[in-house]
Amino acid sequence: MTAATVKQTLAGWGRYPQVASQVARPDRYAEVAAWAREASLARGMGRAYGDAAISAGGTTVLMTRLNRFISFDADSGLLRAEAGVTLDEILQVVMAQGWFLPVTPGTRYVTLGGAIAADVHGKNHHHVGSFSAFVQSFELFTPAGALTCSASENVEAFNATVGGMGMTGLIGEVTLQLKRIQSGNMLVQHLPAPDLATALALMDSPEHDDEYTVAWIDCLAGGKHLGRSVFMRGHHAEGPLTAGPGPARLKLPVNLPTLALNRYSVKAFNAFYYRWEGRKQKSFHCDIAPFFYPLDGIRDWNRLYGKPGFVQYQFLLPPETAAAGLKSVLERLAKSGNASFLAVLKRFGPGGSGLMSFPAPGYTLALDLPLRHDTLALLDTLDAVVLEHGGRVYLAKDARLAASNLVRMYPQLDEWRRIRATLDPDRLFVSALGQRLEMC
Ligand SMILES: Cc1cc2nc3c(=O)[nH]c(=O)nc-3n(C[C@H](O)[C@H](O)[C@H](O)COP(=O)(O)OP(=O)(O)OC[C@H]3O[C@@H](n4cnc5c(N)ncnc54)[C@H](O)[C@@H]3O)c2cc1C
């Protein structure tokens, strides 16, 4: 018998859309199998931006109380834990012992289950691939029963679940290979790139390559400054080992007025940031937290976008078309007057085995856009540019893509559907995203 459920309004990190939901919050691992027979979606920390962690009906199972560590071998770096353990909780245990996450997204407040379901990537994708490359195995609870999935066992279920956005069942215990570090320090360098071509050249150049690379783009700069960026690179340095990152020191207590983030405030910020950050051309040391998780320093920073919320538009373009496609997107964005406070460019290496995983060779740009009356229409035009250039949109960030575009972006969608149907023939596991995109 499963525990009681409560009514709760759920949203993603962008706070759009918001959906009245039926929510369960099991705290014993033994309950997971029962929930897999009647639930319709797992939810971790709700850091997916759009509607990926909202169920289309039925019960949403909050996994965050299933957060027990099962074992950690400090010699091999092999960790086994329940899927509700967050990356932050892992760092608190392993960093002082000389271990780190092999791949980490830009926030540490995501669960192991969420990291697998979105097959998350970090600033080192061009060297090591995405999260699933380090997942040795996980338990998958489906309506038909439990499976152990890995690259050699129940391989189809593994490949459909990594990047499968929760729609193959509930991920239970996870075994993850961590990465050795010598210290809690990073050696970092910031270089200004006056335009897009320079930013892409820096990302491509073996001379400027590093373990981690990323570029912040001033997406309001136009004309000859289009794509003006600060290129950032870094690697783990030598030095003393440290404890995991501390908690956020600041908190945004209320929603900001909708007008606070506008074209003018963002333009002023961008001009300042480009000069300030671009000036640090000498290498410098910094802690893990500001390098990997700059936004985690402010709790509830998503309130910055006011009551209507915001959308993140993250897309990928293949290497051959990236320069032209990025130029076209940035031009349209600048012309629309929509101001993205945050615009982050990363380089991807080869994709992994996940049938619906986002990463593939090329470049990815993530834009945070406040929800205005014209934002969704603008994003439809950007979808057309992305498709024209052979790219795709990241489902973990999406709240509004049209179903007709999904199949053109994810060529393995039909294969994923076939495998998913064997795991969940009665279509119990469907998110609002899956329903909108007609995935199941
Ligand atoms: C500030 C910020 C920065 C980010 N940076 C990056 C980045 O650099 N790279 C990147 O790839 N992503 C990034 N993300 C996105 C984030 O990493 C993913 O959306 C991740 O899936 C969120 O994990 P979560 O635990 O919050 O899961 P949720 O948001 O709660 O759920 C996400 C998906 O995972 C599924 N899921 C969760 N738990 C389970 C489970 N136990 N079993 C089955 N399915 C499950 C849900 O059904 C849903 O489909 C960022 C998000 C934020 C807010």
| Distance, C-alpha 341 to centroid of its chain | 17
Cα 372 to ligand 1 centre (Å): 25
Q: Tell me which H or E stretch contains 71.
A: strand 69-73
Residue 26 burial (C-beta neighbours within 10 Å; 0-12, 13-18, 19+): buried
Q: What is the mean pLDDT of residues 388-412?
A: 98
Average pLDDT of span 372-395: 97
Residue 439 C-alpha to ligand 1 middle, in angstroms? 18
| Residues 226 and 359 grouped into a single domain | yes
Distance 115 CA to ligand 1 centre (A): 5
Kindly report each contact of residues 257-265 with a partner whose C-beta sits within 8 Å and lies 24 or more positions away, as own/partner: 257/306, 258/305, 258/306, 258/307, 258/308, 258/370, 260/304, 260/306, 261/304, 261/305, 261/306, 261/339, 261/341, 261/370, 262/339, 263/220, 263/337, 263/338, 263/339, 265/339
Say what percent of the chain tops pLDDT 70: 97
pLDDT at residue 255, as a whole number: 66
Confidence of residue 187 (pLDDT cuts 50, 70, 90): very high
Query: Higher-confidence residue: 268 or 337?
Result: 337
Cα separation, 390 vs 326, in Å, equals 12
pLDDT, mean of residues 277-300: 87
Residue nearest to atom 48 of ligand 1 (CA): 53
Q: Which of 101-110, 154-163, 277-286 has the lowest mean pLDDT?
A: 277-286
- pLDDT band for position 254 (cuts 50, 70, 90): low
Nearest to 191 by CA among 218, 227, 216: 216
Ligand 1-lining residues (CB < 6 angstroms): 13, 41-48, 52-53, 63, 83, 105-107, 110-111, 113-115, 117-118, 120-122, 165-166, 170-171, 295, 396, 431
Mean pLDDT of the 217-228 span: 90
Mean pLDDT of 131-135: 98
| pLDDT (mean) for 367-394 | 96
Average pLDDT over residues 342-361: 96
Q: How many structural domains does the chain have?
A: 2
Structural domain ending residue among the three candidates 164, 181, 198: 181
What distance in angstroms lies between residue 49's CA and the mean position of ligand 1's atoms? Answer: 8
Asked if pLDDT for residue 331 goes beyond 90, the answer is yes
Rounded CA-CA distance 434/440 in Å is 7
Q: Is 69 helix (H, G, I), strand (E, B) or coil?
A: strand
Protein residue closest via CA to atom 19 of ligand 1: 48
Q: What pLDDT score was predicted for residue 297? A: 87
Q: How many helices (H) and strands (E) does the chain have?
A: 13, 21
Residue 146: give the domain boundaries: 69-181
Q: Is residue 435 part of a domain?
A: no
Q: Which of 136, 155, 181 is the last residue of a domain?
A: 181
Q: What is the pLDDT of residue 85?
A: 98
Q: Which atom of ligand 1 is nearest to the CA of 111?
A: 25
Bridge-based pairing state of the strands 59-62 and 18-24: parallel
Whether residues 166 and 304 share a domain: the answer is no
Residue 214 sits in the same domain as residue 337: yes
pLDDT score recorded for residue 334: 85
Is there a single domain that holds both residue 149 and residue 232? no
How many whole angstroms from 169 Cα to the centroid of ligand 1? 15
pTM: 0.96
Picking from 168, 136, 144, 174, the residue whose alpha carbon sits closest to that of residue 42 is: 168
Lowest mean pLDDT among 79-83, 145-149, 185-189, 368-372: 368-372
Is residue 163 domain-shared with residue 194, that is, in the same domain? Answer: no
* Residue located nearest, by CA, to atom 37 of ligand 1: 114
Ligand 1 pocket test target in 10, 111, 296, 340 with most atoms within 8 Å of CB: 111
- Residue minimizing CA distance to atom 20 of ligand 1: 114
Q: What is the pLDDT of residues 25-76, one digit of tens each?
A: 999 999 999 999 987 899 999 999 999 999 988 899 999 999 999 999 999 9
> Tokens 């973990």 identify what position?
396
CATH number of the domain residue 104 falls in: 3.30.465.10
Let me know whether 236 and 372 are in one domain.
Answer: yes
Backbone phi, then psi, for 104, in 5-degree steps?
Answer: -135, 135
Q: Rounded to the nearest whole angstrom, what is the distance from the C-alpha of residue 304 to the centroid of ligand 1?
A: 20
Answer whether residue 253 shows pLDDT above 80. no
Burial pattern 298-323, b for ≥16 Cβ within 10 A else e, equals: ebebbbbbbeebbbbbbbbbbeebbb
Candidate from 82-86, 296-300, 396-400 with smallest mean pLDDT = 296-300
Q: Is residue 53 part of a domain?
A: no
Q: For residue 84, give the ligand 1 atom closest to its CA.
A: 41
Q: What 8-state DSSP symbol labels residue 431?
A: B
Statement to judge: residues 197 and 308 lie in one domain: yes
Looking at per-residue confidence, does 280 or 99 come out higher?
99
Q: Report which protein residue has its CA nearest ligand 1's atom 8.
A: 105
- In ligand 1, the atom with minimum distance to the C-alpha of 47 is 26
Q: Are residues 200 and 119 in the same domain?
A: no
The predicted model gives 264-293 an average pLDDT of 81
Has residue 322 got a pLDDT over 70? yes
Give φ, ψ of 57 to 5 degrees: 165, 175
Strands 41-43 and 59-62: parallel
Which of 43, 395, 437 maximizes ligand 1 atoms within 8 Å of its Cβ, making it the mutation to test the pocket? 43
Query: Does the N-terminal peptide bond of residue 17 adopt cis geometry, omega within 30 degrees of 0?
Result: yes
Sorted by sequence, the CB contacts under 8 Å of residue 75 that are 6+ apart come out as: none
- Provide the pLDDT for residue 282: 82
One domain for residues 140 and 255: no
Same-domain pairing of 342 and 234: yes
**What is the 110 CA–ligand 1 centroid distance (Å)?**
6
**What average pLDDT does the segment 229-258 reach?**
84
Q: Which of 49, 60, 89, 120 to mutate to test the pocket of ligand 1 (most atoms within 8 A of CB)?
A: 120
> Contact 99/180 with Cβ under 8 angstroms?
yes
Give me ligand 1 centre to Cα 282, in Å: 34
Phi-psi bin for 207: left (phi > 0), alpha (psi -120 to 50), beta? alpha
Q: Buried b / exposed e across 265-289, counting CB within 10 Å, b at 16+?
A: ebeeebeeebeebbeeeeeeeeebb
Please provide the size of the chain in residues.
440
| DSSP characters over 110-170 | -BHHHHHHTT---TTHHHH--GGGGEEEEEEEETTEEEEE-SSSSHHHHHHHTTSTTTT-E
pLDDT band at 2 (very low <50, low <70, confident <90, very high): low
Looking at the fold, whether 216 and 172 belong to one and the same domain comes out as no
Both 166 and 196 in one domain: the answer is no
Please tell me the predicted confidence (pLDDT) of residue 307.
86
Q: Identify whether 319 is part of a domain.
A: yes
Instruction: Give the CATH number, domain containing residue 227.
Output: 3.30.70.2520
**Among 255-264, 283-292, 391-400, 408-417, the least confident range:** 255-264
Q: Pick 308 or 314 by higher pLDDT.
A: 314
Q: Which of 181, 198, 229 is the last residue of a domain?
A: 181
Q: What is the pLDDT, as a whole number, of residue 306?
A: 83
> What is the average pLDDT score of the chain?
93
